[in-house]
Chains A and B, each alone.
Chain A
Amino acid sequence: MPSYLFWLFSTIMLIGGCAVIAFRNPVSSAMSVVTCFVGLAGLFIGLSAFFVGVIQILVYTGAVMVLFLFIIMLLDLTDEQKRAKGFAPLAAGLSLVIAFLVQLIGILSNTPDKVAPPLDAATLAGAATHFSQGGIATALKDGRLPDVQLIGQTLFTGYNLPLQILGVLLLVATVGVVALSKKQAE
C-alpha cells in the first residue's frame, strides 16, 4: 500500500476513535466507531489481508454496530448530561493513558524496524511450489494472492478443533443472551 493511503486510513481511524470519546450522544459515538472501523478495514486491505478486511466491515460495522444502535434505541438514551466529575478521576485516567503512550514510544524507538517483504508476482509464483495442486497453486502462478482459499485451508486443516469450539461458544452465547433478556418472573 502506498504510504499516503496508509496515513489516510490511519487518520480516518484515529479521528473516528477520538470522536467516540468526544461525542456526548451515544448514537454519534456509534457512528464514529463505524468510521473508525472503515479506516481499520482499509488498513487491513492495505496489508493484503482482504478476507479480514471484509470480515471487519461485515461483522463489526454491519452486525455489531447495528446491535449497539438497536440497544441504544431500545434503552431510549438521552445525551449524557454535563456533570461535575471531580478532577481526580480525569487526572488518573489521563495519566494512565499518557503512561501507556510513553511506554509505547519508548519500546518502539528501541525496536528494530522492518519493511514489508515483497508480495509481487515473482514471490507468489515461487510460493506456488509449496502447493501441489488445486486453485491455490493456479492463482499463485498467475500472480494473484488467493487470500480466502489460503485462510480456508489453514482454518480447516490446522485449526479445525478451535473452529468447532468457536461454534459451541457462539451457541452458548446465543442461549445465554436469550436467557438473560427473558423477562424475569415476578
Chain B
Amino acid sequence: MASLNDYLLVSGLLFAIGLAGVVLRRNIIVVFMCLELMLSAANLSLVAFSRFNTVNGLPDYKGQMLVFFVITVAAAEVAVGLAIIVALYRARQTIHTDELASLKG
C-alpha cells in the first residue's frame, strides 16, 4: 500500500511537469494543456488527503467536494480559454507566444 508521501511526491512531479510545460513550450494550446495537468496534480493531492484522513471510518468527502468543484471550474475555464485562443488566432494568425509581443515594452 502506497503511503501519503508517495502520492504527494507523484502529485508534485506531475505539477512540476505541468510547470515545465507552461514555462518552456511556445504553443499556447500546449501551454493550456499543461495548465490542466497542474490542476489535475492538485486534484490528486486533494483526493489523497481525503482518503488518508478518515472521518468516522469513511474518507473525508470534503476533499472530494473540492475536487468536484475544481473539475467543473476547470471545464468552464477550458471552454472560455479555447474561445479566447480562437479569437486570438483570428486576430493575429498565430498562437505562438513568441510572436504575441504587442504588450512588450
Contact = CB atoms under 8 A, between A and B. Distances in A.
Given A71-B86, A90-B24, A101 B34 contact: no
A174 B71 contact: no
B57 A80 contact: no
Given A49-B47, A60-B40, A30 B33 contact: yes
A56 B71 contact: yes
A52 B76 contact: no
A172 to B, nearest CB: 8
Nearest to B27: A80
Contacts of B33: 20, 29-30, 33, 68
Nearest to A130: B56
Chain A interface, DSSP helix/strand/loop, else mixed? helix
Given A17-B18, A96-B19, A114-B3, A10 B10 contact: yes
Contacts of B48: 47
Chain B interface, DSSP helix/strand/loop, else mixed? helix
Chain A, interface residues (CB within 8 Å), range = 35 or more
Contacts of B83: 176-177, 180-181
Contacts of A3: 1-2
Interface in A1-55: 1-3, 6-7, 10, 13-14, 17-18, 20-21, 26, 29-30, 33, 36-37, 40, 43-44, 47-49, 51-52, 55
B52 A117 contact: yes
A118 to B, nearest CB: 9
Interface of B: 1-10, 12-21, 23-27, 29-30, 32-34, 36-37, 40, 43-44, 47-48, 50-52, 54, 56-59, 61-62, 64-65, 67-69, 71-80, 82-87, 89-90, 95-96, 98
